[in-house]
A = this chain, B = another copy of it.
């Protein structure tokens, strides 16, 4: 139920790798995929997303790769999840996401409002965890 997807795992592994190697260094996707035996194409897409979102900067062409932008303490795991998954890390109730109309049982659903508190509690835990803590 509450489990990280492979994509997020790979993203965390990659970022952690880049952090541990120093901030000014450029890393290629291939290098990281080889090092941790991750599927190259999948990792490539993950790196693209991280880059688009500004966690890392990309350099194309020969000798290109990715470079870390932020300090570990500035990268929240919640934001990384959001970036990779394309939606907030925690959306506890399925009908929560959007307008009430989209939930077929919204008129009779009794659990939505009470669970909002759970959602915010989970969010708090994820917001407090930065890449810094992963060492």
Contacts and interface: CB of A to CB of B under 8 A. Distances in A.
Interface of A: 1-6, 8-9, 12-13, 16-17, 20, 35-38, 77, 81, 85, 87, 89-94, 104-105, 108-111, 114-115, 117-118, 121-122, 125-126, 129, 133-135
A94 B36 contact: no
Nearest to A16: B110
A117 B133 CA distance: 9
Contact of A2 (B104, B122, B135): B122
Contact of A104 (B37, B126, B134): B37
Contact of A109 (B1, B13, B93, B126): B13
Contact of A122 (B12, B35, B93, B122): B122
Contact of A81 (B1, B38, B94, B104): B1
Nearest to A11: B111
